[in-house]
């Protein structure tokens, strides 16, 4: 039987054997595709589910006051109107709110990158007494809820005269954040030590190695930490609510609450303008993530936080 199959295989031309190989390859590709279809359908379903609130927010910002309360509700706005955006910038200092958030976020992200990168490099590369114990103490601070430290921090900042200023919103970032220090330390540990050894042979010190070698290599981790810090600061509502009282110093998140409270005070609903303001607040984060998602995913994978 085997000899017969060998004879038949030998009698086939190279073109026939190539055609059979192509058909087998097509069958394998179809089988792989059939296996991937349920997975992609589930991902598409969850993508629609998680993206629906943003779609509804955008749709509501483009509806008229009557369309917002129409029943049954419309997913796609019609008639399309941009009155909510024009009235938002006309009646409220949204541009000032946006600029305040941008300044506070820039100071916060810069302080986070500077302080956390130096602390992480020290914990991962430098040898000094009590390093592991202090690192464990740093990680222990992550177990304290924000509500526990809220009152003591307020008393400290009030004694400094920092109430109704931006200092409580960005100065703490220049003293390090435990989670970001841990994130960068994990990345530093993944770098080969031979690079530093070669730099030391050439006469480079720790500062030169940190600035010229370590920082350029840890760009994905820096971008990941910068994105986390940007999102946390840009969306922060509680901290500005505690310390900021003046309208001209409010960031965008607190400014939206000011718009809502103003509407309640005058007995009107500003839902359309609030949705427009929410779109303006969400847009920078979406754009930033779309441009930096490649570095963000790489930084997450290389720091060992992948699920």
Q: Helix 94-125 vs helix 252-266: angle between axes, to the nearest 10 degrees? A: 150
pLDDT per residue as tens, the chain (307 positions): 445 445 444 556 777 777 777 777 777 787 787 778 888 888 888 888 888 888 888 888 888 777 777 777 777 777 788 888 888 888 888 889 999 999 999 999 999 999 999 999 989 888 888 888 999 999 898 888 888 889 999 999 999 999 999 999 999 999 989 999 998 888 888 878 787 778 888 787 888 888 888 888 888 888 889 988 998 999 899 999 999 999 899 999 999 888 888 876 666 777 888 888 888 888 888 888 888 777 766 666 655 544 4
Q: How many CB atoms lie within 10 A of CB 13?
A: 8
Characterize 127-147 residue by residue with b for buried, 16 or more Cβ atoms within 10 angstroms of its Cβ, and e for exposed: eeeeeeeebeebeeeeeeeee
pLDDT at 213: 83
109/102 Cα distance (integer angstroms): 10
pLDDT at 68: 76
117/141 Cα distance (integer angstroms): 18
Enter the tokens of residue 7: 């004879």
pLDDT at 298: 66
Maximum Cα–Cα distance across the chain: 96
């Amino acid at each position: 039987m085997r000899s017969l199959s060998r004879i038949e295989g030998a009698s086939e031309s190279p073109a026939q054997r190539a055609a059979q190989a192509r058909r087998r390859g097509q069958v394998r590709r179809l089988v792989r595709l059939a296996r991937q279809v349920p997975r992609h359908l589930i991902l598409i379903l969850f993508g629609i589910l998680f993206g629906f609130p943003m779609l509804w927010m955008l749709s509501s910002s483009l509806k008229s006051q009557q369309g917002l309360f129409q029943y049954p509700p419309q997913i796609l706005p019609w008639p399309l109107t941009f009155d909510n955006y024009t009235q938002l910038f006309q009646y409220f200092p949204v541009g000032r709110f946006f600029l305040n958030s941008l300044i506070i976020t820039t100071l916060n992200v810069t302080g986070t990158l500077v302080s956390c990168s130096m602390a992480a490099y020290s914990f991962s590369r430098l040898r000094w007494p009590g390093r592991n114990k202090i690192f464990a103490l740093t990680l222990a601070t992550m177990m304290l809820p924000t509500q526990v430290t809220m009152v003591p921090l307020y008393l400290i900042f009030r004694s400094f005269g920092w109430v109704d200023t931006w200092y409580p919103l960005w100065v703490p970032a220049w003293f390090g954040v435990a989670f970001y220090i841990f994130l960068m330390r994990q990345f530093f540990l993944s770098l080969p030590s031979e690079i530093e050894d070669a730099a030391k042979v050439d006469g480079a010190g720790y500062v030169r190695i940190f600035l010229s070698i370590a920082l350029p290599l840890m760009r994905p981790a820096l971008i990941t930490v910068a994105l986390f810090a940007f999102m946390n600061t840009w969306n922060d509502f509680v901290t500005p609510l505690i310390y900021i009282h003046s309208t001209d110093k409010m960031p965008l998140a607190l400014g939206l609450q000011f718009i809502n409270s103003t509407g309640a005070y005058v007995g009107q609903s500003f839902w359309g303008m609030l949705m427009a303001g929410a779109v303006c607040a969400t847009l920078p984060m979406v754009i930033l993530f779309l441009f930096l998602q490649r570095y963000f995913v790489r930084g997450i994978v290389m720091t060992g936080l992948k699920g």
